[in-house]
Structure 1
């Protein structure tokens, strides 16, 4: 089975959630810098149309298939990915590892009240995590002082909730300065950790229709969801190219 599955030029790591966490923990223990991206069809399509972002994703150490659309695309291309690895679940796995091994975690992003609640809930749920620090996301993301502030706390894990592409761009700048640590963009996950937003019910997750649940809860997401038919169209084009080879 292939270790990397390329979908519209983006190389996804073909690992289960358990395998991702094992690899990430080993890199954490080895004090390696690790750029982790969780990519869904929306991110892949954005990268397709934005070369700088596309090139940035190619620098990631790991790209996880966050979204059932990625898994189905891999099957359509006859290069099946083992399983979908939701970014939220990967983040929870990292928090569990941090709790088990008393690692330092820094939280950055979201509104000030949201991140405050998120950190408090993390302390309650995983009391052995060492909270390196936190900072809201409303600042100049080009400000080097914030990077220095985060670096000074010596975090093993940095969770960045700016939304793409800003979080990945900031992570690249941060890791260029940091000496070690895992950094990953977690989008709106702090809203869930804070308790302000509820995850889709388990039955919705089981049938892989979280996108529909979120759309019903937030109709304003329609424009973002409209990228899915375009993604499928591009997958059909890639499949045809493969067949013609």
Structure 2
């Protein structure tokens, strides 16, 4: 964890406590300008529970430079602990802002993960929306975690930004295992955000997002996510009962 950013500790994970604007303008943009690598985890209750139960995964998350509070449950927990956070820093919005900045600065991005079709659609969407963004490369997510050819392909691409959409826990584990191989790059686990970029999944309307009810909208649209929502309730109970 980068010590220059204020944090709030929840279930032994340190979440950054800042605004999204400050995080982008005064933190991530500087990493890109200086070609300094960093590792971002989009933290939510599900990730917190997984880190509590899985030591390897916990070590991977703790190795990150920044764990952003992506999820209403994290903000509620912080407020309950009397350490309120300034705002939610949504992973999807950070991804979009990184792509927009890369477009302005003519930087490059590598898209790693999802199915071949979703990956291809996401890259095509990025090319349409960000015409000055350089696509350093892309690769679907169906490969062995320790496949050296994939690591080498990403490394030799020289990408300024690497969006890793391998899902939980693979994306954070992949970044943590191979981070030392790279000389530069902002690495971020983006999960289902790439599906939204590809147009395969619709994001919640702004009204739901403003009310921190994006999770409920996604549940109504994708009932199969119910088991994931149970992790949110487990997280909240552990925070309230101080059993972390």
Displacement, 1:208?
A: 1.4
Displacement, 1:156?
A: 0.4
Alpha carbon RMSD of aligned pairs, Å?
1.4
- 1:49 — aligned with what? 53
The 10-residue stretch of structure 1 (4-13 or 210-219) with the greater mean CA deviation from structure 2: 210-219
- 2:9 — aligned with what? 6
User: 2-side partners of 1:97 and 1:138: how far apart?
Assistant: 29
**Correspondent of 2:21 among 18, 22, 41:** 18
Structure 1: gaps of 5 or more residues: none
SS class of match (2:87): coil
User: 1-side partners of 2:42 and 2:19: how far apart?
Assistant: 13
For residues 201-212 of structure 1, what are the structure 2 equivalents within 5 Å? 201-212=205-216
TM-score by length of 1: 0.94
- 1:178 — aligned with what? 182
User: 1-side partners of 2:170 and 2:163: how far apart?
Assistant: 13
Structure 2: gaps of 5 or more residues: none
User: 2-side partners of 1:143 and 1:63: how far apart?
Assistant: 26
Deviations 1:114-160 (A, max 9, x none): 11111111111011101101111111121011000111110000000
How many residues are matched?
239
Displacement, 1:69?
A: 0.7
**Correspondent of 1:117 among 101, 111, 121:** 121
For residues 8-157 of structure 1, what are the structure 2 equivalents within 5 Å? 8-22=11-25, 23-157=27-161
Deviations 1:9-56 (A, max 9, x none): 000111111111120110111121101111001100111111221122
TM-score by length of 2: 0.95
**Correspondent of 1:221 among 220, 225, 234:** 225
Deviations 1:221-240 (A, max 9, x none): 111111122111111133x9
